[in-house]
Amino acid sequence: MVQRKRLPRERRVSINHEFASVEQFITEYVTNISRSGVFIRSKDPLPPGTRVNLRFTIILAEIETIEGIGEVVRVSQNPRGMGVAFVELSSYSKKLIERLLMRGTP
């Protein structure tokens, strides 16, 4: 009989996905964004290495949604939250981030 080695399952947690309640909106939100990732304020940050499904909105000319997969790379106590590096973003989400970042340059 051949035994198969069980590989650990990748754990993914949804972040900021269509806030289920006002309480969740207040306790977990994106406060900083760059080309490489976001900082998410959270009362209960996830441990580094956790993969997360990202879905959050930004305001350009209209409200736009950025979606992708990220990985928690650091946890902060002040402000309380976590740094999440982008692992995979749709090309549309990448373009939205570029537009958002270019808006801040003179």
DSSP symbol at 76? E
pLDDT at 6: 44
pLDDT at 20: 45
Top-level class of domain 12-103 = mainly beta
Per-residue pLDDT of the chain (106 residues; tens, 9 = 90+): 544 444 444 555 555 544 444 444 445 678 888 999 999 888 889 999 999 888 888 888 898 989 999 999 999 999 999 999 999 999 999 999 999 888 865 4
Collect contacts of 48-51 with beta carbons under 8 A, ≥24 apart: 48/72, 48/73, 48/74, 48/75, 50/11, 50/13, 51/10, 51/11, 51/12, 51/13, 51/87
Read off the pTM. 0.73
- Domain residue spans of the chain: 12-103
pLDDT at 30: 80
